[in-house]
Structure 1
Amino acid sequence: MNKISITFCCLGFTSILLSQNIKSILLRPVNNPKQYSSVVKLGKSLELSFDDLDADNKDYYYKIELMTYDWKPSGLISNQYIDGFNQNSIINVTNSFNSLQAYTHYSVNIPNSSSIITKSGNYIISVLNEDYETVFKRRCVFYEDKSTVGLNVLRSRNANSNQTDQTVQFRVNHPSITLNNPSQEIKASLIQNNDWNTIIENIPPAFIQHKTLIYNHVSLTNFSGNNEFYFFDTKYARNTSLNISKVERDTVYNTYLFTDQPKSRRSYTYNPDINGQFLINSKDPNTNDSRTEADYTMVHFSLAYDTPLKNTQLYVYGGFNNFELSRENRMEYNFKTRTYEASILLKQGFYNYTYAIVDNNSGINLKEIGGSFFQTENEYMALIYYRPIGGLYDRVIGIGYGVFNQNE
């Protein structure tokens, strides 16, 4: 799998004009901001939060929808999977304090006492404005512990890709669930680095044993290893740090990163990262709560490139905007400096990013700029869906995690 599918990455395009002043969207487990996936056990809660840079205390609403294993509407009505309301107001609203960029911070726990999710599965959380127009959407998953999933991430066994790719193999033990037709009743998906654009869906078992399904495919579950992400740290808004060349104060802070160099022609070098994600954090003096006191800084990205790419767009790519492609993170070529450039307003914190190339005929290509190496430390997640014969929806009966280990 050399190119990332763009089937879902354009989810936010329909609402991009509505959400241009919405920033720092997070959907993560409550009280666990360093768990970057929006996947929790049924009965636990996720916190949805975001900032509105208009800072005018608008009315926003959340909406919860159950989806199928392949992210299509489930066809169930809301009272079949929600005890209470599937749509409600977001009432936890706080104004920013002591920041150059004013904003209003919104947050809500999902589920909550007004909206209790009763079934496991894939869900879409939408945020609507006061006119009930969709501002943005996010995916999340609520799962049951009905199976044990073990993942093993290996160097690709394919001779043509064993220098660049990784293969994910896994095993599902389901002692409490009796399957009549495992190939029909069980659907398995794999995701790399919590980037839904990388998803491989509907993976069939290679072998079926008593109470065990084995997925030891050689090429079907191959992923490009890509490379470790670039990063920067703006938790001190006024100061430079590793990978930041200078900081200037204007109407907002301006953070200028050192010009990045393409890594595709370099040898692999291990560099610890958080696999494309970001963490909001301010360590500036007198900051007590980063949610409402962290400031925004205009981050200036640049990538050295001798000539502009033909018939191709280049994007800054990362979890900071849900791995989506938008006008804001699209780069423009500067002929004078021979660099691609982009400027993105981001809240203080620690950020991973990389560069994505997209043309009209293929998916998202991360290896053209960053290279692809089998040694890259990537995190993988398996999701196991179960719909018995005659069932009405896809339960998530187990999840599993794995990272590449060079010693395997």
Structure 2
Amino acid sequence: MRFNLTLLLLFTWFPQYFFGQIQEVNPPDYIKTIAFKSNTKESQLPILKLGEYVVLEFDALNGDEEDYYYKIEHFNFDWTPSILVKSEYMDGFDNQRIRNYENSLNTYQIYSHYKLTIPNAQTKRLKVSGNYLLSVFNDDDELVFSRKFMIYENKTNVGVSIKRSRDVQFIDEKQRVEIVISSNSMQFNNPKQNVKTLVVQNNNLNTAISNLKPQYTIGNKLIFKYDTESSFWGGNEYLYFENKDIRAANIGVRQIDLQDLYHNYLFTNTERASKPYTYNPDINGNYLITTIDADDPSIEADYVWVHFSLIVPNSFRGDDLKNKSIHIYGNFNNYAIDESTKMIYDEYNQVFTKPLLLKQGFYNYKYVVLNNGKLDEGAISGNFYQTENNYKVIVYYRDLGARYDKIIGLGEGSSVNISN
């Protein structure tokens, strides 16, 4: 009876942890342009060295100048809560108000821009490596949104090389990742059990491959040369537009209109899966806030209704895509797929359309298909082994008797020089 009562209490207090891994929570409509990065790289997935800073910025468009609070939690490799108490992974306190905010200046859309830097005067230091979740709450202690980030210790060398698939069926469509992990400062004990890896393509955790085991060892080197297990679809280069000047047509913008806010109409895109691969430099799904004639784009860049349009033949790959769900995809909303990104079919013009409210800047995007809940990134854009993609390999280690999963190394590679 005592055991059952304990289980009941645990389910009551921590229900979100008993039904799978913790997931990021996407914000409501009035929270826009969440930028989350380390102090050294312009990435929307912060992976920072122990001791470095992480910066969170976002806009609240409701004009209420609300107070927001943040909490930081530590997690295991599989995103289940670690058993560490806060004082073991943090010097200082969380659950603090975000004090740094400014209101927009000379913009049609009124908003408040919030900025949080960690460490700070209240949260003085994050002491251990591993997985972290940063959650933002409002005055009523309601969760507004959350984002994952990682802290690593530089204890290993992680070699990453990108190869073409060995599977003839997908040799022109997939890329595979080969990994070599070595260290001069530590000995790997039982690496098949204690070493875990996470391979991330273009900072997108939704498509990451986790928990590859070393196939064999040479001395103190761990070798990973999988084929199918470490393969990603190559995808295609991202489309892009720039509207740093909302009063004039920029890259990708064909028409401008001013109503309550500015409206930018992009050139209509077509499917690329049936066309040959064409190299087109991109920033791998990322975005950058920028505007002309402004000293501080974070508060002087305006919000614009950006109108996307897409023509897809009904006979494309034998499928009638009008009966499927097509979404606009990119890091501007953390690769979220929901009603806010779902395109609507215009019967009269025979084109899919969708307006999105976005802050001025340079954006990468592409179109993806959701078919019976399954994501197909290449249905419209295509999959090509030549596509330039960024890959990050994160190495976790839990030694015998340890109480949490450390991150002991980070490796990075690009498919720009892909080989057989």
Q: Normalising by structure 2, what TM-score?
A: 0.91
Taking the aligned partners of 2:336 and 2:343, their CA distance within structure 1 comes to 14
Taking the aligned partners of 1:46 and 1:61, their CA distance within structure 2 comes to 16
Provide the secondary structure at the position in 1 that maps to 2:353: strand
Select the residue among 12, 31, 48 that pairs with 1:40: 48
Which amino acid in structure 2 is aligned with residue 112 of structure 1? N
Select the residue among 272, 280, 297 that pairs with 1:271: 280
Which amino acid in structure 2 is aligned with residue 82 of structure 1? M
Taking the aligned partners of 2:63 and 2:373, their CA distance within structure 1 comes to 40
- Counterpart contact for 1:311–1:359, Cα < 8 Å: no
Which amino acid in structure 1 is aligned with residue 403 of structure 2? L
Moved over 4 A (4+): 7-10
Aligned to 1:387: 398
- Counterpart contact for 2:45–2:148, Cα < 8 Å: no
After TM superposition, give the deviation of residue 406 of structure 1 in Å: 4.1
Q: Could you list the per-position Cα deviations for residues 232-262 of structure 1 after superposition, in whole angstroms to 9, with x for gaps in the alignment?
A: 0011111112211111111111010011000
After TM superposition, give the deviation of residue 37 of structure 1 in Å: 3.4
Select the residue among 274, 288, 296 that pairs with 2:303: 296
After TM superposition, give the deviation of residue 76 of structure 1 in Å: 2.1
Cα 1:154–1:8, aligned 2, differ >3 Å: closer, same or farther?
Answer: farther
Moved more, 66-75 or 128-137: 66-75
- Counterpart contact for 2:164–2:418, Cα < 8 Å: no
- Counterpart contact for 1:313–1:359, Cα < 8 Å: yes
Aligned to 2:183: 174
Q: How many residues align?
A: 394
Alignment of 1:175-324 (within 5 A): 175-283=184-292, 285=293, 287-307=294-314, 309=321, 312-324=324-336
Which amino acid in structure 1 is aligned with residue 126 of structure 2? I
Query: Structure 1 residue 373 and structure 2 residue 397: aligned?
Result: no
Select the residue among 350, 360, 365 that pairs with 2:362: 350
After TM superposition, give the deviation of residue 22 of structure 1 in Å: 0.3
Query: Structure 1 residue 12 and structure 2 residue 19: aligned?
Result: no
Taking the aligned partners of 2:126 and 2:244, their CA distance within structure 1 comes to 36
Alignment of 1:39-78 (within 5 A): 39-78=47-86
After TM superposition, give the deviation of residue 10 of structure 1 in Å: 7.1
Which amino acid in structure 1 is aligned with residue 55 of structure 2? E
In our comparison, the structure showing a higher alpha carbon Rg is 2
Query: Structure 1 residue 326 and structure 2 residue 335: aligned?
Result: no
Q: Could you list the per-position Cα deviations for residues 272-319 of structure 1 after superposition, in whole angstroms to 9, with x for gaps in the alignment?
A: 000001011111x3x110011111110000110244626531110000
Taking the aligned partners of 1:9 and 1:316, their CA distance within structure 2 comes to 25
Aligned to 1:3: none
5+ residue gaps in structure 1?
A: 1-6
Alignment of 1:29-178 (within 5 A): 29-30=38-39, 32=40, 34-115=42-123, 116-178=125-187
- Counterpart contact for 1:38–1:140, Cα < 8 Å: yes
Taking the aligned partners of 1:311 and 1:247, their CA distance within structure 2 comes to 31
Moved more, 302-311 or 235-244: 302-311
Cα 1:341–1:310, aligned 2, differ >3 Å: closer, same or farther?
Answer: closer
The alignment's C-alpha RMSD in Å is 1.7
Q: Percent identity?
A: 38
After TM superposition, give the deviation of residue 188 of structure 1 in Å: 0.7
Taking the aligned partners of 1:10 and 1:247, their CA distance within structure 2 comes to 38
Taking the aligned partners of 1:190 and 1:171, their CA distance within structure 2 comes to 13
Which amino acid in structure 2 is aligned with residue 321 of structure 1? N
- Counterpart contact for 1:255–1:297, Cα < 8 Å: yes
Moved more, 353-362 or 393-402: 353-362
After TM superposition, give the deviation of residue 132 of structure 1 in Å: 1.1
Taking the aligned partners of 2:132 and 2:323, their CA distance within structure 1 comes to 36
Provide the secondary structure at the position in 2 that maps to 1:160: helix
Which amino acid in structure 2 is aligned with residue 141 of structure 1? M
Which amino acid in structure 2 is aligned with residue 85 of structure 1? F
Taking the aligned partners of 1:349 and 1:238, their CA distance within structure 2 comes to 13
After TM superposition, give the deviation of residue 87 of structure 1 in Å: 2.0
Taking the aligned partners of 1:288 and 1:223, their CA distance within structure 2 comes to 41
Provide the secondary structure at the position in 2 that maps to 1:328: helix
Aligned to 1:336: 348
After TM superposition, give the deviation of residue 327 of structure 1 in Å: 1.6
- Counterpart contact for 1:10–1:324, Cα < 8 Å: no
After TM superposition, give the deviation of residue 152 of structure 1 in Å: 0.2
After TM superposition, give the deviation of residue 11 of structure 1 in Å: 3.5
Taking the aligned partners of 1:341 and 1:181, their CA distance within structure 2 comes to 53
Taking the aligned partners of 1:404 and 1:323, their CA distance within structure 2 comes to 21
After TM superposition, give the deviation of residue 360 of structure 1 in Å: 2.4
After TM superposition, give the deviation of residue 206 of structure 1 in Å: 1.2
- Counterpart contact for 2:59–2:113, Cα < 8 Å: yes
